[in-house]
Amino acid sequence: MQELSKQCFFVGLGNPGKKYEMTRHNIGFLVIQAFAQHLGMNLAQESKFKGIVAKKKLHNTEVHLLLPTTFMNESGQAVKRYMDFYKIPLTAMTVVVDDADLSFGTIRLRTQGSAGGHNGLKSIISHVGTPQFARLRMGIGRPDRENSQDDLAEYVLDNFSQNEMSHLATFLKQGASVLERLLTQEVAEAINIVNGNTLTSH
């Protein structure tokens, strides 16, 4: 009997539109775009899913990509629609998300976790009904000054700094290579390798 192919569903979090394109909050979008480009997948707007999507068979794995275009706070709407349509199990999903608690250039892979104050994750958890899904956390750091929550909200919606921009392509490539690893490896297996690497140590 032929082995059933595996499904991988990669969701990048961000806000749609030119204005937000190069903001820290959009690193999830940027990683998915880098991954799609690397593997020759064409992302296209699909209104019924409220998102930009791509689908391709790679390594005997059915790969699905989704960038919700609902704005961050409603990301869960697009995720739920897409999963329901393609009958994708929660175990196949990895969400790529910016994380202010990790310094810029740090990547962490997790099998599950709380929303940690992130509105995109909150929305997904609320729509799928559980926090038990993998996430690839891309560190964006925090503002240097003593910050209130207002400062952080401003910081994540700010464009990357000049210094960050000089390392961004490498950082996105590292994020995309983690997703590529997940095509052939389970998240739990990949964690040990992925979480040992940091951009700043290269």
Catalytic residue among 25, 118, 167, 202: 25
Measured N-to-C along each axis, helices 162-181 and 187-194 cross at an angle, to the nearest 10 degrees, of 140
Angstrom distance (rounded) from CA 185 to CA 5: 13
- At 24, the amino acid letter reads R
Concerning whether 25 is annotated as a catalytic residue, the answer is yes
- Tell me the catalytic residues: 25
